[in-house]
Amino acid sequence: MTRLGIIGLGEMGGSIAAGVLGGPWGDEVTVVGCDVSEEARERFAALGGVVAGSPGEVARQVDLVAVVVVDDAQVRLVGGGDDGVIAGAAESGALVAVHATVRPATVVGLADEAAGAGVRVIDAPVTGGIQGARSRDLVVLCGGDPGDVERARPHLARYGSLVIHVGPLGAAQRAKVARNLITYAELAVAQEAIALAAAAGVDLGAFAEIVNHSDRTIGPHVGTFTRPIVHPPPPMGGSYTAIAHKDLQGALALAEELGVDLPITALVDQHMDAAFGE
């Protein structure tokens, strides 16, 4: 039996709720949630969720409280106070999992405050997006005491296909921002590539097909994460670096010719040697 509480029923929290409430376990799962938005509360209730009036009211009814708010200030706001998560969890014995991507110090501070009330906290940021939440296919990165993570695992597994312990409290937040760095850097460079292709008169539909097909064989991140990671990277030989600079400088030369600004590409060219261990 899972009694899950969700603080924050916006895009991610609401999608987690939708995935869990739409799962194949029927009466085995109860989801209690709260949000400042009446619209979010109504959507949640329509899914079969139990609407509570405050974070504390949620925490008093569940075994695990998932804090799915936006930022550090909101984590602190819903965590403390007379009717916050800590106060409610102190009565029920609920474990608190901070899914929001926040500073490690914020989670440590919340855990220190919670410890005084006998409440346990883990940091558990998620990745996989809205669709991953709705399909119960999130990755849940967990930082904290191993016993607390194992206690949380059966509940987190209702919406996380991978629940992975990465270290002590705060470690999951550090891993999450490193993971997000890849996403945002790739997005920014992809937009530069599209701008260059468009300016050069390349058919963008064909360009998308080229990228998607070649990624099937090259693999995401050129297979970096499918083989053992060594840091710093071992030298791969000057030929790799030379080819990388040739291709990047070719892109920059074309961009200059067409009047397209590629600042991220220029930075990559400046720092490419380090990627090849040179």
Q: Which of the residues are catalytic?
A: 176
Cα dihedral 20, 26, 31, 37 sign: positive
Residue 273 to residues 212, 241, 277, Cα–Cα distance (Å): 26, 6, 6
Counted residue by residue, the chain has a size of 278
* 7 three-class SS: strand
- The C-alpha torsion from 63 through 68 and 72 to 75, rounded to 10°, is -40
Tokens of 147: 């016993």
139 pairs with which residues across the strands? 127, 162
Host H or E run for residue 222 = none
The rounded distance, in Å, linking the Cα atoms of 82 and 60 is 13
150: Cα within 13 Å, side-chain hemisphere: 3
- Amino acid present at 267: L
